Structure 1
């Protein structure tokens, strides 16, 4: 709970001796405040703790007053000369000291200040205190010093409930069955307030008749019927103390109040005095089902339509129709289109126009849009480099963008009668309207473009607030006429940027890191001309660094290194090792990377299980080998004997291995595992040849043993 200077706090006492404090000053730390009792003719400011006020209100010992009994709304011309002189005299006396806050409230410091005024103004201290007290108690304005002759009677002030009945008497008061005349006292008012809070200001939306019935059942069960408060008394109390905003918030919700119950005192045009001073952007889901461009048998659902409207002229400056849900991507496309050449845009859809048919290709000064789409780092880039200020509507407040909201209604009204697949309320047994889808997204966009061109050039804007300049020059409230007139007579807000620069500053931004393996962004490796020419990747072996880049999440085949001023860029291409990511969306890449990580984890688990099996096999082999070796040991053989025969034993083992491992071509294994001799050469049948070969083998073996 917060407090403000001049607020009134009423302390719960009897109706006759009311104590109402006015807050005169609050310290910057929000700990101490000074208050004054507005009804005490001898009081002075008192220091109180903010926490004590909060506790008193929370405990029900006090409450804030909505109405200030000393508020004066007076026409200066209606004040009598004598009263003005009285006010000026008092103001001239205290005007130099009332702003000495908080010193003027502190007793030890106030005395010398008052004494100085007494000497300067030749007045008594009593007079100074009288003026100060009146000034503080009545709202801290010069008019608080006016005399009180016009306040006789206390009009509007609550009256105490005496024994005599106030107001109209009951028509049948002489009939006991109809009850007695009775004033509504403080206790009854409190019951009325509790009943209205509990039974009326709720989502149940009970009527006052029902509230009266529930109140009687809860608070007056044992009271004689003739002593009960009447329905009319409850209605009067409700009407007199009604807070419409609080009531509507409780009964139908604050969002509904802001959209349908709040007062409408201004117009959208008052915020925009020239073309480009304010654009409104919003998205809606189209009331039509579409088919795929690749297979017209596929129904792809309803499109998302983004529209950008210039508030001054009501011209539609940008359009995007896609399948992206309401997000920055869709808003980015619509904003880029609002600053693009419309002749080229229409030509992509086989629509031929001249520049004058759709002249909007400029950047605005201000944009108002939804919080969810127009908040974040990407929007800050647009603000910084395109110098576009962004205003966001509160949640659930489409009425803050009335121009673009009205445009959506116009589109639906004009398109619905001609487009198949339009959403219609379902009826039992009725045809499924989704099956009527016939248009693809490009065909539907073409229809909207034609409709927008017609709107911009021929639509009479109903309810447009024409100023005197427009009326004098007989300008019709047609978007193109208003746009052209504004450019001639109120130029200065519209700016033109290169389309690539616009797209660069609308795309999301990120940080890419230069490493020896490439420019890494989202675990994708890129390169560029500068990186190759300036040997970035060689330098990155010593130290890596970051690059400010822009990217289009719909196609990650390229990213763009931003220049510091946001008006230039260098494209980066994807490296061959990551060619699988080329022309893929960021969502697809992140899904694929997540799948690869999952697959790697699964493979690691399989490898772990395989290693466990391998360890078991190795242990079994070792165990068997140990058993065989230990069984073959001679317990009487010395250690030195075992070691000294290593070379000899190695030679014999090598000879045996060579015999087993030697390639023997032309032999086949018999069923018993022995090779079957095949055809031999003539040299192998010569006995002398065989003797010489055996002698050579023997000498070779002896030489190996010596080694």
Structure 2
């Protein structure tokens, strides 16, 4: 319900309005936060909708304050009486016309004529009357007092609840009651300020509430200022805190203040375990990577520290047995994950033997494909995942971003491995931050990559035969006397639960996990990443002759560009392509290095293109300059043929003369260097065409009679012009 003289505040921009009239389906409101304001006509239903949606809140009247006349000065009383007399005699009788926008200015002009006041003064009185409660004390300078006429009161005047213990001037402060309107203000303020990533404290939110709903607004030096009301007109912080705790929603608060990911990761209830989603070995494998807390050295030089390795692990959710590992410098990336998947299907006896560790198949019996792989979005989004799904019938479940808890088993195993490494291995990270004077643990690095891999294999074998703490044992396991170690649970599950285990040829798996790309066939060979390849099949089937812009799908290993593979027979076989001679210079490079070099070349060419444009522009300018000078010289020449015929007829003779002149300048004289030391006579040389003086040159001796004749002819021509 909306009442006349009621004050509302828009939650989005804190603008406050007062209802000054209600007529049928319309409401007239005025902004109370401006110096001067005229009524605005709004639909009643529109305001009701804003109220229901929480956009418009009923708030305390900022001018509702009882001021006894005894507390006023004579000046204030006289000012109030004078202004109220104008309002009562000239404004109130015309209030209906003044509410309407049409004709308002004309009516104000009439009041100006009747009162003799200025137009600004009349508008100020009118605005003050509407903004400050439409009563006599609205005319008080800088004071306000309006009663909440027409507003339903549900509480007694006395404040309920425990009285405040703080006194002001020897009297207890009374405070205000927490009404439904106040609760709505609290709720919206919590949503606006507390449930955001700004992480405002409850005390901050309380201050925002006082600023938005319980303060007077004024401008000082052009800036908006707030003056909080007296303590007996505002809610206390304890009242706000009490209400907040009663209405607290921890889940919503964490999700909005932090993130939904953090809630799911750190705060959600844990009511089940990972094993409940499996029905035997091979149903679900979890794969993840971590950077080991240790520094390694080069296998070629123990004095070279190469940094920290990456460990990938694949774990069977049902039995907790580690089914595959990768220890190297790739990743975390698809390449590292690919290596772990490759190790997942390898014979572990042969694998361990490569690192000097002899085991039996019973000690590490895994070499199988799972039904489902749970992985991070990073490594298993895109790449060759579709091949695993379509060709090997493995489902991929990507965890939500930043939800490492969904791979809790493998995550916990990494913590255990890193803990063991810190206890035993030299070069392990002992502190997150070193203090002054602490020895740099990187200097203690001793293990190379192969030795560290052997160390990880040893820890994996230990894990596979270690009792699993708090493992959710099945009743049948207990009856069969199964000790809950990963190997025992794995073997028992294969025998009694079957699971979803499958085997696959290692090369077929590699063919499906390696990245795929598009290559084109040209006369120069099979082109991939600007590298040229050839194959026996391409030659036999004459691919290079039957060119129709053929594009073929290939499989490649970014770490070895010397070969690429063309799958055929529905992915069961492949054709090997070898790097051709023009691209052999790249055979020992990684693909990423080659792409970088190509990008660098393109960047250098792009940079040079701008220089080329500048060079072209400058060249054109120089050409034009040379041509212009030649044209100017031609125009200034005094020796002009009398006719076109005469000009064309002497071409042959002119060429002979010019040729002989140039021969004298261009000919080789091997003894000229020896003669340079002798004294050279200076002569004045005149240009034949321009008749201009050239630089002094030493006269050249010539025994050619023809040249003497040519010079004589030139001098004669020069004399004629004079």
TM over 0.5: yes
Aligned partner (choices 432, 448, 451) of residue 456 of structure 2: 448
Alignment of 1:555 onto 2:560: yes
- Contact 1:315-1:483 at 8 Å conserved across structures: yes
Residue 510 of structure 2 corresponds to residue 481 of structure 1: no
Task: Indicate whether 1:242 and 2:236 are aligned.
Answer: no
Q: Give 1:186 shift.
A: 1.0
**Is the Cα–Cα contact under 8 Å of residues 281 and 490 in structure 2 kept in the other structure?**
yes
What residue number does 1:579 align with? Answer: 584
CA deviation profile, 1:12-43 (whole Å, cap 9, x unmatched): 999xxxxxxxxxxxxxxxxxxxxxxxxxxxxx
CA displacement at 1:544 relative to structure 2: 1.7
- Note the alpha carbon deviations across 1:170-193, whole angstroms, 9 max, x for none: 5999x9977889974312322432
Question: Which residue of the partner structure matches residue 551 of structure 2?
Answer: 546
- How far apart are the structure 2 equivalents of 1:227 and 1:615? 80
Q: 1:504·1:550 contact (CA, 8 Å) conserved in 2? A: yes
Q: Which of 293, 298, 311 matches 1:292?
A: 298
Cα drift, residue 322 of structure 1:
2.0
SS for the counterpart of 1:519 is strand
Are 2:197 and 1:190 aligned? no
Aligned 8 A contact 1:179 1:226 in 2: no
Q: Deviations over 1:459-509 (max 9, x none)?
A: 111111112222221212111111111112222511111111111111111
CA–CA separation in structure 1 for the residues paired with 2:604 and 2:633: 42
Residue equivalent to 1:565: 570
Map of 1:21 onto structure 2: none
| 2:332 is the alignment partner of 1:341 | no
Q: Is the 8 A contact 2:531 2:579 kept in 1?
A: yes
Please, what TM-score do these two structures have when normalized by structure 1?
Answer: 0.63
Deviations 1:661-698 (A, max 9, x none): 9999xx9779679xxxxxxxxxxxxxxxxxxxxxxxxx
Partner of 1:272: 278
Contact 2:285 2:314 in 1 (8 A): yes
Could you tell me which runs of 5 or more consecutive residues in structure 2 were left unpaired when the two chains were aligned.
4-45, 55-152, 215-227, 677-722
2:403 is matched with which residue?
397
Q: Does 1:61 align with 2:52?
A: yes
Would the aligned equivalents of 1:557 and 1:574 in 2 still touch at CA under 8 Å? yes
Distance 1:224 1:622 in 2: 91
**Structure-1 separation of matches of 2:251 and 2:328:** 39
Deviation at 1:438, TM superposition (A): 1.8
Q: Is the 8 A contact 2:312 2:327 kept in 1?
A: yes
Q: 1:428 aligns with which of 432, 436, 450?
A: 436
Please give the alpha-carbon distance, in whole angstroms, between the structure 1 residues aligned to 2:607 and 2:213: 69
Counterpart selection for 1:465 from 465, 472, 497: 472
- Separation of aligned partners in 2, 1:411 and 1:466: 24
CA, structure 1 residues 202+640, in 2 after alignment: closer, same or farther (shift >3 Å)?
A: closer
Q: CA RMSD in A?
A: 4.5
| Superposed counterparts of 1:547-696, under 5 Å | 547-563=552-568, 565-601=570-606, 616=622, 635=641, 639=645
What is the deviation of 1:256?
Answer: 2.7
> Superposition pairs for residues 148-227 of structure 1, below 5 Å?
170=162, 184-194=178-188, 196-197=190-191, 201=195, 222=229, 225=232
Structure 2 distance, partners of 1:470, 1:420, is 41
CA-CA distance at 1:382 after TM superposition: 1.7
Kindly indicate whether the alpha-carbon contact (under 8 Å) linking 1:516 and 1:539 is maintained by their aligned counterparts in 2.
no
Matched, 1:323 2:317: no
Q: 1:512 aligned to 2:503?
A: no
User: TM-score, structure 2 length as denominator?
Assistant: 0.62
Return 5+ residue gaps in structure 1 as ranges: 1-11, 15-54, 64-160, 674-707
Contact 2:297–2:305 (Cα < 8 Å) also in 1 = yes
Aligned to 1:437: 445
Task: Report the Cα distance in structure 1 between the residues aligned to 2:173 and 2:665, rounded to whole angstroms.
Answer: 126
- 605-614 or 463-472: bigger deviation: 605-614
The alpha carbon displacement at 1:295 in A equals 2.9
The number of residue pairs the alignment matches comes to 517
Provide the rounded CA distance (Å) in 2 between the counterparts of 1:307 and 1:390: 16
